Every structure is written in structure tokens, then in C-alpha cells.
Structure 1
């Protein structure tokens, strides 16, 4: 089981995304699964990662929010949340996405 949090330097949502991801893992009883934080610095770095904008959460190499199209642009990502568009998903959205992706 490999969970990665893919990000770029210019996007300010890394710390909050990591916190929410770890909260979701704890809620699912999987706080023992390590999260790899991976900085993408160039378009070639995105190849084969499932990156769809920063932050992107992948489980075994696949984006857990598959509605985001993979991209080689180093840009921030926008998520549809219950309260509107945001720079990262809610804890409950992450929890549900992890469950829907086999965790």
C-alpha cells in the first residue's frame, strides 16, 4: 500500500492536505500507513505519477479523485467541496475517496 501526496512549491496547501490525509487515515484505522510527500519540480517529474495539480493524493499510483485530469503543468489544483471550490478536499471527502479506492 503506497500513499503519496504530490505537490509543487508554489502551492500553499501542502501542510493542510497532509494533516487532512493523516486524519482520514486515522479515521479509517490505517494511521500506520506512511504517507510519502513528493515535491514535483518540473514537467518531467509528473510523468507516471497521476499528478492532476497540487496537491494530488495517490493510492498505489492512482489519483484518489479521478475526476482530475492528469497534467504535466505545475499548477495548484481546485477541488469541488460541499462548501464550494477549494484548494483541497475535506477530511470526509478524502476518507470516502480512500474507501472507494480500496483502502
Structure 2
């Protein structure tokens, strides 16, 4: 499994997203999974990655929190969480996304 956190420079939520991801990885038994951060420099790169705001989390190249029809953007991103809009997905949302990918990898 490959996990990337895509961000714009000085994103105020990048650290929160990475911390929650590390915790979710540990809690799902995936603590050895590599987690990298990539800074999106311009609109062309945002479009290439399907980047819809910072931070964007990619698990095996896919955004499990993608909103259909959301345009590429160099802006901050809001996630829908059980507690309302937030700058990063909730811990339970991340665990579910990781388990879904891990389960699909196991079925192959």
C-alpha cells in the first residue's frame, strides 16, 4: 500500500492529516506502510494529480474522500466528518478507508 499526503506550501492541516493517518495505520496493523508528503506547486500539477484541495490523501493513487465533480484547486480542503466540516478526515474515516484498501488487496 502506498499513501501520499498532497499539500500546498504551509498548509495548516497537513500535520493533522499526517498524524491521524499514522495513528490509523498503527491501529489497523499497517504501521510499516510508507507515508510520504508531496507539495503541489501549481495548477497544472494539481490537475495532473486530481488534487482538490489541501490536504488530499491518496491511498494507492486514489482519493477515498473524493467528492464527485470537485475541480482541481490549490485551496484548503474541507472534509465531511461526523463532527461537521474539518480540515482532515476523522480517525474512524481513515481507518475505514485503509481497511477497505487492505481488504481489496487481500482478495487479489
TM-score range, shorter chain: 0.7 to 0.9
Cα distance in 1, alignment partners of residues 84 and 3 from structure 2: 26
Q: Counterparts of 1:1-103 in structure 2 under 5 Å?
A: 1-67=1-67, 69-100=69-100, 102-103=101-102
Larger radius of gyration: 2
Cα deviation for residue 69 of structure 1 reads 4.4
Deviates more, 1:45-54 or 1:34-43: 45-54
Q: Note the residue ranges of structure 2 that are not aligned, 5 or more in a row.
A: 103-108
**Gaps (5+ residues) in structure 1?**
none
Contact 1:54 1:76 in 2 (8 A): yes
Runs (4 or more) in structure 1 with deviation over 3 Å come to 68-71
SS of 1:48 mapped into structure 2 = helix
CA RMSD between the two structures: 1.6
Q: Tell me the TM-score normalised to structure 1 length.
A: 0.88
